[in-house]
């Protein structure tokens, strides 16, 4: 009992209170914002989920992936296939008819089930990451070489999606949804329920990621990030841990992609290309790499800023975004979340030491 009481320090209690307040604010958002803003916030929360997964491999394991948009997009396409079949009554979608297909392809047919689509939206990205991780980490492909490889995967996947127009909708992607589980996907009530589902998914995945990084597995991940050769020297196989965390991260990105489609109503190859993948890395870097909270916060803040700047300054919003990136990189190298740590450190330096002398501010 004494050991359990020691775990709940005042600092940890305040952190739990902050988490509870943030969750309460998110769940109460439908009471204060319009339907349009609520749908926009739901999209940002989906981006926050993929940022959490990316932070697991980059912030805590030291693996930089510039192809995470692929896993996000595969999850989105899995859900889009179900939604498109629901809208067409199980018949071949319109873009298949335009390409001359008269019958529904075999691999499309199982996606008439919502739960099958959900399972595939997680399993397909995770399986692809597992296969890629097996051949790269096992052969000790690291650093910039792995980053280039993930970018090549983006190019291959987008080219395949565009080229197979009869099966994927080509450059237009898959759109034209009407219902989800029998409910109108465009009704405000359904949008509200989907928002609550997204909030619940974000909280659940955040708790899961906290559990992972706080476990022995997470300690090994951080050790790999700080010194992979030393981890190998003491008897661990870093490749196994890297494959597992890469697979988990891809599955989380697939969940985010499925939620994204439900809110936005479209998925196309342009939404999972190189530029969106790089933007995901920027969310984590600006929010605070290796903090989870910072990664999610960075995704929400950056997309909110992008939306507001593009609305207020349609001709020059890119300059504002660029300036924001420069300011954060120069003055906040540890991201927005790192600002809190810097403030605490400065306050601690100013506190009197045991001799009654204040430490000089840094």
* Residue 212: band (very low, low, confident or very high) from pLDDT cuts 50, 70, 90: very high
The packing angle between helices 114-137 and 68-87, to 10°, is: 160
Whether 359 has a pLDDT exceeding 70, the answer reads no
Give the rounded percent of residues in the chain with a pLDDT score beyond 90: 47
* Residue 318: band (very low, low, confident or very high) from pLDDT cuts 50, 70, 90: confident
Residue from 242, 53, 39, 34 nearest 136 by CA:
242
CA distances from 297 to 49, 244, 280, 303, 360 (A): 10, 25, 12, 10, 32
Whether 353 has a pLDDT exceeding 70, the answer reads no
pLDDT digits (tens, 9 = 90+) for 1-16: 344 444 667 777 888 8
H runs (alpha helix) in the chain: 2-7, 10-28, 35-58, 68-87, 94-98, 114-137, 143-163, 165-168, 188-214, 216-233, 238-264, 274-287, 293-312, 317-331, 335-350
* pLDDT confidence of residue 46: 96
Whether 334 has a pLDDT exceeding 80, the answer reads no
Pair 341, 289: CB distance under 8 Å: no
Whether 320 has a pLDDT exceeding 90, the answer reads no
* pLDDT confidence of residue 275: 85
Pick the more confident residue, 100 or 173.
173
Residue bearing tokens 């909708």: 169
Whether 262 has a pLDDT exceeding 90, the answer reads yes
Determine the distance from the C-alpha atom of residue 8 to the mean position of all C-alpha atoms in its chain, rounded to a whole number. 30
pLDDT digits (tens, 9 = 90+) for 101-152: 888 888 899 999 999 999 999 999 999 999 999 999 988 888 888 988 998 9
* pLDDT confidence of residue 6: 46
């Amino acid at each position: 009992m004494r050991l359990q009481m020691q775990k709940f320090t005042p600092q940890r209690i305040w952190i739990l209170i902050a988490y509870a307040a943030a969750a309460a604010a998110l769940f109460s958002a439908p009471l204060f914002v319009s339907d349009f803003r609520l749908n926009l916030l739901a999209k940002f929360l989906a981006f926050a989920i993929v940022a959490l997964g990316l932070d697991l491999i980059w912030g805590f394991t030291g693996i930089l992936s510039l192809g995470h948009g692929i896993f996000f997009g595969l999850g989105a396409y899995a859900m889009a296939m179900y939604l498109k079949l629901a809208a067409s009554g199980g018949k071949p979608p319109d873009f298949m008819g335009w390409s001359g297909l008269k019958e529904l392809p075999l691999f499309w047919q199982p996606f008439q089930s919502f739960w099958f689509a959900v399972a595939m939206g997680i399993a397909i990205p995770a399986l692809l990451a597992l296969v890629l991780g097996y051949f790269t980490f096992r052969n000790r492909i690291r650093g910039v070489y792995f980053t280039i490889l993930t970018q090549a995967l983006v190019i291959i996947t987008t080219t395949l999606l565009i080229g197979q127009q009869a099966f994927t909708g080509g450059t237009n992607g898959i759109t034209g949804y009407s219902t989800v589980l029998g409910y109108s996907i465009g009704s405000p009530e359904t949008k509200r329920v989907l928002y609550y589902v997204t909030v619940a998914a974000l909280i659940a995945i955040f708790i899961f990621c906290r559990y992972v990084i706080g476990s022995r597995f997470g300690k090994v991940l951080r050790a790999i990030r700080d010194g992979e050769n030393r981890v190998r020297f003491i008897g661990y196989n870093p490749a196994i841990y890297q494959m597992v965390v890469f697979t988990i991260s891809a599955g989380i990105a697939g969940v985010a992609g499925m939620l994204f489609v439900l809110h936005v109503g479209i998925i196309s190859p342009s939404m999972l290309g190189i530029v969106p993948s790089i933007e995901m890395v920027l969310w984590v870097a600006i929010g605070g790499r290796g903090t989870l909270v910072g990664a999610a916060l960075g995704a929400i803040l950056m997309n909110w800023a992008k939306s507001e700047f593009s609305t207020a300054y349609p001709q020059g919003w890119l300059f504002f975004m660029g300036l924001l990136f420069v300011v954060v990189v120069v003055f906040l190298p540890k991201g927005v979340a790192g600002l809190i740590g810097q403030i605490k450190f400065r306050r601690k330096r100013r506190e009197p030491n045991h001799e009654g002398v204040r430490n000089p501010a840094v």
